[in-house]
Structure 1
Amino acid sequence: MTWAPEGTKTTNMPGMPAMAEAYARWVNSHGGIAGHPLKVLTCNEHNDSADATRCAQRAVDAGAVAVVGSYSQYGRSFMSPLEVAGIPYIGGYGASEEEFASPLSYPVNGGQAALLAGNGRQLAGDCKRVALVRPDSIQGDQMPSLLDAGLQSGSRSPARDVKAPEDGTDYSTQVAAALKAVGADPAVYGTAAGGGEATGSCVSASLGDHTDTFFDSFRRLQEESPKVRVASVLGSVDQSTVNRTGGATGPLEGADITGWYPVAGDPRWLPMRRVINEEAFNDSRIDPADQGVQTTWIAYTVLRAVIQQLDDAGVEDITAHAIQTTLDRGDRAIDTGGLTPKLRWRGDDMLAVTDFPRIVNGMVTYQVVRNGELVAAQDGFVNVTTTLERRRTDTGD
């Protein structure tokens, strides 16, 4: 089973179930996984807690052996039915706390926690003053302390917290509040000062699908204030967002972006791109640069490796329990082709991160928008494990 929200007014991830279906077509056309045919069920979670429960119950009723590469903010709604049925949750997007707490969850990335801590560290080198624009939601309430952990690792002050509606159509009020917070208020500077430089002033926005709407509003008000550096995390900003907001001449030019995986043009993504070209060439839902699509690819890579391990051990009946046991035992670390560190989920592999005890991958990548293109800001991964662990001490948790 793979689920994600589609057709909603907030965050949508249609590429994740579409990638799952394309993966199934591809693997079955090549003989299945160790000879086992792969059947994928999909479900629209609608960004709704009741529908998240419904999708989980459908997985239970269908006898799914795993939920793989999915997105939902409503971990409380979907994890309980899966736990009761013993169905592992492999490679969720990392949008809920339960994904990093449930013993049946096997995350492939560090979730929102790693992205925001990494973004804070990335900004600490350039920013004396930072404002964070984030959703006025339960999920959004976690964001400030995570970004601040990264800023504090660079001896910077905490960010000013600017709340915004998840489904806003205009963010002029939030833009003005953010600019004022970092000392670049257009009401103070006026148009005569436009184009100046507010040294060390930065605004990071993480509003999911509505981040480009925010930056449209930002561009209009930015023209009347000193230049402010902007930032975000992948998932809120990707190459299509950069394109929609004006490319090299838009507000995201020069932006600091933090992601989980290598940049979309990295050759390590070629196997995924070949599958998309073979099985979903005309499917506009699948963007190979989208972190949801990428997460689903990695999650199915994990599932394939686990089933191969079971086959190598002579296990013919692929069940949820067999998959869970193999993941927990972790006899062999799983190679994702360099898209993540090698993964396994033994007790010794868990990072000591308060609120997120199931994180096993504390790596992020730093990217930047240069000449209208998202490119790597530096080679390799950046380990934010220490930053996340320090948050426990600094916040008194």
Structure 2
Amino acid sequence: MTSRRDSFRARPPIARHRCRPAIAAAVTTAVLLPTLFSASACGGPADASTSSDLVVMTWAPSGTGAADRPGMTELADAIGRDVNLKGGLSGRRLRVLTCNEHNRPEGAKACAQQAVDAKAVAVIGSYSQFGDDFMPVLERAGIPLIGGYGISQPEFSSPLSYPVDGGLPALIGGSGRQLVEAGCKAVALVRPDTPAGDVLLGYLGTALKPAGIKLLDVKAPEKSSDYTQVARKAIGKDEPGNCVTSALTAEPTGNLLDSYRRLTPKNTRIASVIGSVQQSVVDSTGGDSGPLAGAMVTSWYPPESAKIWDGLRGVVRSDTTDGRPIDVSDPGVQTTWVSYEVFRVVVEKLTAAGKPVTGKSIAALLDSGEGVDVGITPPLNWGTTNMLPSNESPRLVNTWVTYQVVKGGRMALQQPGFVDVRWVLTKGRPPA
């Protein structure tokens, strides 16, 4: 039997206090790259921080194409404004810096250096595939990374990284178990033709093996716009019990779905993971009349419609600074929210204990083995005894996923609570 946590418990969002005078955001241009710093705060020029300010940074690519995650930095800005309008965090002004890493290794490194130069106490909820470039910069300065999206290996191995999700390994392992429980007899994995894709194939194989399910590896060229041959290979003879799951980025997923729809399979069931599919993708592909009708989706979090996201929705609704809507179904946005909630809890605990809030004290508290529960995921614990027994990903501590299904054009829970796939990630045996 698969182990589960059966409920989602809401936690209060970032504390509300008597509002201080608000000030406008400031923009400065970085020297190394045209990356954008946005600071939001109350009481004085936004870029004129005081010694009592809590300085943090969030970075993500923007203006690069399919890799863009602008919602993450936009939400970070919105959180900063919201916190300071309500009196700060534990009475202290929160200065949020955002940085565009341009989906380039030198951009990621430059963003990390800017966090160091600004004396940030943490980097929060960021997105970059270049962990080998940014993580050493943070490590040398003693700056913890809380809630990196999880697309680079150092995010799951660095002693100063505190991921709040299980990355693609947890998702693809969870997708495999979801397909087993759905009664699939054969599964095709459509995945990138990369070394990272090879690793995902291994996790899916581990998830399917106890059930004796046949696994077909379908490598997809991510830069191609025509996925007809990929979809045709995945569908095969379109026999009952045939299932297809994918682990691609959003744009290739859209190309795959378009080809899948045109081939009109009758018996093949489709599945995916959050990030490849989210509510906005369901909407854009036709909702309940599109190819994702009835699709199974594995996620790190409960669906966007769940009440636990009320705090996120409230911040997004109240923030009208740039007039652009933030997609609250985007897992990058959700990860940023969870990460800032973790930071909030840590700051409150340190303040209550009379300790300074520094990179060192934040890391010490997170390393202590004291769980952090923000009510969106199971309690997060980065203590030594909770580490994953893995040389590659010891920091992957959140091994829980949710099973969702597209029903009536909306992503909804297929079953209540979380499912633990830790045994898949450690290549162990399924729970009895």
TM-score, length-scaled by structure 2: 0.82
State the one-letter code of the partner of 1:146: Y
Look up the match of 2:22.
none
Deviations 1:217-250 (A, max 9, x none): 11112x2x44310010011101111111111111
Aligned-partner SS, 1:130? strand
Look up the match of 1:325.
364
Q: Which runs of 4+ in 1 moved over 3 A?
A: 280-285
Look up the match of 1:217.
259
Alignment equivalent of 1:270, drawn from 310, 319, 339 = 310
Look up the match of 2:211.
154
Alignment equivalent of 2:352, drawn from 308, 312, 329 = 312
In 2, Cα distance between equivalents of 1:303 and 1:28:
15
Alignment equivalent of 1:199, drawn from 236, 240, 246 = 240
Q: Is the contact made by 1:28 and 1:37 (CA closer than 8 Å) also made in structure 2?
A: yes
Aligned-partner SS, 1:375? strand
State the one-letter code of the partner of 2:259: S
1:282 positional shift: 6.7
Aligned-partner SS, 2:297? strand
Give 1:133-282 correspondences, 5 Å limit: 133-157=190-214, 159-180=215-236, 183-184=237-238, 198-210=239-251, 211-221=253-263, 223=264, 225-280=265-320
Look up the match of 2:83.
27
Q: Does 2:130 match 1:92? A: no
Gaps spanning 5+ residues in structure 2: where? Answer: 1-56
In 2, Cα distance between equivalents of 1:156 and 1:342:
33
Q: Is the contact made by 1:96 and 1:139 (CA closer than 8 Å) also made in structure 2?
A: no
1:124 positional shift: 1.5
Q: Is the contact made by 1:133 and 1:178 (CA closer than 8 Å) also made in structure 2?
A: yes
Change in CA separation of 1:382 and 1:233 when aligned onto 2, cut-off 3 Å = same
Aligned-partner SS, 2:99? strand
Q: Is the contact made by 1:9 and 1:167 (CA closer than 8 Å) also made in structure 2?
A: no
Gaps spanning 5+ residues in structure 1: where? Answer: 185-197
In 1, Cα distance between equivalents of 2:397 and 2:320:
31
1:355 positional shift: 2.2
Superposition CA RMSD, Å: 1.8
Q: Does 2:364 match 1:364? A: no
Aligned-partner SS, 1:161? strand
Q: Does 2:135 match 1:79? A: yes
In 2, Cα distance between equivalents of 1:307 and 1:209:
35
State the one-letter code of the partner of 2:330: D
Higher helix share: 1
Q: Does 2:166 match 1:110? A: yes
Change in CA separation of 1:137 and 1:55 when aligned onto 2, cut-off 3 Å = farther
1:12 positional shift: 2.0
Change in CA separation of 1:99 and 1:171 when aligned onto 2, cut-off 3 Å = same
1:201 positional shift: 0.8
Q: Does 2:48 match 1:8? A: no
Look up the match of 2:189.
132
Change in CA separation of 1:77 and 1:349 when aligned onto 2, cut-off 3 Å = same
State the one-letter code of the partner of 2:415: Q
Q: Is the contact made by 1:93 and 1:295 (CA closer than 8 Å) also made in structure 2?
A: yes
In 2, Cα distance between equivalents of 1:41 and 1:257:
33
Aligned-partner SS, 2:135? helix
Deviations 1:21-53 (A, max 9, x none): 111111111111111111111112222222222
In 2, Cα distance between equivalents of 1:100 and 1:278:
34
Aligned-partner SS, 1:147? helix
In 2, Cα distance between equivalents of 1:274 and 1:383:
30
Deviations 1:260-315 (A, max 9, x none): 11111111111111111122487435111111111101100111111111111212
In 2, Cα distance between equivalents of 1:45 and 1:217:
32
In 1, Cα distance between equivalents of 2:134 and 2:255:
30
Aligned-partner SS, 2:397? coil
State the one-letter code of the partner of 2:201: P
